[in-house]
Amino acid sequence: MSLENENFFKRFAQVSKSINTGVNSAEIFASIVGHTKECLSAGGAFFWILDDSTSRIESVTMKGPAHGDVPNLNYSALSTLFRSRASSVVNITNIGEDSRFAGIACPEIFDNGAMCGVSMDISNSYRAILAVWFATPRCLNEVEQDLLMAFAEQGASAVHKALMYDTQMVESLRQMVEGFALVLEAKDEMTHGHSIRVARFARLLAEELTLSPHEREIIYHGGLLHDIGKIGLDDAIIERLGILSKNERNVIQQHPVIGARILRPLKFLSDVLPIVLHHHERFDGTGYPDGLKGEDIPIGARVITVCDALETMLAGRKHMRRIRLADAIGILQRNAGSQFDATLVESLFAVISKKPDLFSENGNTPQALRIHRENLKRYFDITPSIFI
Ligand SMILES: [Fe+2]
Ligand SMILES: [Fe+2]
Q: Which ligand is nearest to the CA of 195?
A: 2
Domain assignment present for residue 181? The answer is: no
Q: Do 127 and 210 fall within a single domain? A: no
Q: Which ligand is nearest to the CA of 258?
A: 1
Domain assignment present for residue 174? The answer is: no
Q: Do 280 and 376 fall within a single domain? A: yes
- Whether omega before 213 lies within 30 degrees of 0, making that bond cis, reads no
Task: Report pLDDT for 189.
Answer: 67
> 195 C-alpha vs ligand 2 centroid, how far in Å?
6
> 292 C-alpha vs ligand 2 centroid, how far in Å?
19
Q: Do 214 and 106 fall within a single domain? A: no
> 199 C-alpha vs ligand 2 centroid, how far in Å?
10
Q: Do 190 and 146 fall within a single domain? A: no
Compute the CA torsion angle 42, 111, 146, 144 (nearest 10 deg).
-50
Q: Do 85 and 219 fall within a single domain? A: no
Q: Do 229 and 84 fall within a single domain? A: no
Q: What is the DSSP letter of 369?
A: H
Q: Which residues, other chains included, contact 48 with Cβ-Cβ below 8 Å and sequence gap of 6+? A: 57, 59, 60, 78, 128, 129, 131
> 386 C-alpha vs ligand 1 centroid, how far in Å?
10
Q: Do 155 and 195 fall within a single domain? A: no
Q: What are phi and psi of 128, to 5 degrees?
A: -120, 150
Domain assignment present for residue 171? The answer is: no
Terminal alpha carbon distance of the chain: 75
Q: Do 84 and 211 fall within a single domain? A: no
Question: Residue 217 maps to which CATH number?
Answer: 1.10.3210.10
Domain assignment present for residue 178? The answer is: no
Structural domain that includes position 85: 3-164
> 182 C-alpha vs ligand 1 centroid, how far in Å?
14
Q: Using the 3D structure, point to which of 164, 195, 224 is the last residue of a domain.
A: 164
The 3-state DSSP class for residue 387 equals coil
> 201 C-alpha vs ligand 2 centroid, how far in Å?
12
> 354 C-alpha vs ligand 2 centroid, how far in Å?
24
Q: Do 66 and 24 fall within a single domain? A: yes
Domain assignment present for residue 191? The answer is: yes
Q: Which residues, other chains included, contact 108 with Cβ-Cβ below 8 Å and sequence gap of 6+? A: 68
> 318 C-alpha vs ligand 2 centroid, how far in Å?
15
> 374 C-alpha vs ligand 2 centroid, how far in Å?
25
The secondary element (H helix, E strand) that includes residue 261 is: helix 255-263
Q: What are phi and psi of 266, to 5 degrees?
A: -95, 90
Domain count, the chain: 2
Task: Report pLDDT for 2.
Answer: 54
Domain assignment present for residue 179? The answer is: no
Q: Which residues, other chains included, contact 260 with Cβ-Cβ below 8 Å and sequence gap of 6+? A: 229, 273, 276, 277
**Can you point out the beta strands (E) in 107-149?**
114-121, 126-134
Q: Which ligand is nearest to the CA of 201?
A: 2
Task: Report pLDDT for 372.
Answer: 40
Q: Count the Cβ atoms, other than its own, within 10 Å of residue 62.
A: 20
> 372 C-alpha vs ligand 1 centroid, how far in Å?
23
> 199 C-alpha vs ligand 1 centroid, how far in Å?
13
> 141 C-alpha vs ligand 1 centroid, how far in Å?
65
> 41 C-alpha vs ligand 1 centroid, how far in Å?
63
> 255 C-alpha vs ligand 1 centroid, how far in Å?
7
> 249 C-alpha vs ligand 1 centroid, how far in Å?
12
> 5 C-alpha vs ligand 1 centroid, how far in Å?
65
Closest C-alpha among 144, 131, 168, 162 to residue 33: 131
The 3-state DSSP class for residue 141 equals coil
Q: Using the 3D structure, point to which of 116, 131, 164 is the last residue of a domain.
A: 164
DSSP states of 284-351 as a string? TS--SSS---GGGS-HHHHHHHHHHHHHHHHH-BTTB----HHHHHHHHHHTBTTTB-HHHHHHHHHH
Domain assignment present for residue 325? The answer is: yes
Q: Which ligand is nearest to the CA of 256?
A: 1
Q: Which ligand is nearest to the CA of 289?
A: 1
Q: Do 75 and 209 fall within a single domain? A: no
Q: Do 191 and 158 fall within a single domain? A: no
Question: Residue 135 maps to which CATH number?
Answer: 3.30.450.40
Neighbours of ion ligand 1 (CB under 5 A): 227
> 365 C-alpha vs ligand 1 centroid, how far in Å?
27
> 239 C-alpha vs ligand 1 centroid, how far in Å?
13
Compute the CA torsion angle 370, 376, 377, 383 (nearest 10 deg).
150
- Please tell me the number of Cα atoms within 13 Å of 60 on its side-chain side: 16
Domain assignment present for residue 364? The answer is: yes
Q: Which ligand is nearest to the CA of 309?
A: 2
Q: Encode the chain (388 residues) as per-residue pLDDT tens digits.
A: 455 666 666 776 776 676 666 667 788 888 889 989 988 889 889 999 998 888 888 888 888 776 656 666 788 888 888 876 656 788 888 877 877 776 665 555 566 788 899 998 887 788 899 999 888 888 888 888 888 988 888 888 888 887 787 777 777 777 878 877 777 676 666 777 899 899 999 999 999 999 999 999 999 999 999 999 988 788 788 778 778 888 888 999 999 999 999 999 888 889 999 999 999 999 999 999 999 999 999 999 999 999 999 999 998 887 888 899 989 999 999 999 999 999 999 999 999 988 887 887 654 444 444 444 443 334 333 333 333 3
Q: Do 118 and 197 fall within a single domain? A: no
> 339 C-alpha vs ligand 1 centroid, how far in Å?
14
Task: Report pLDDT for 231.
Answer: 82
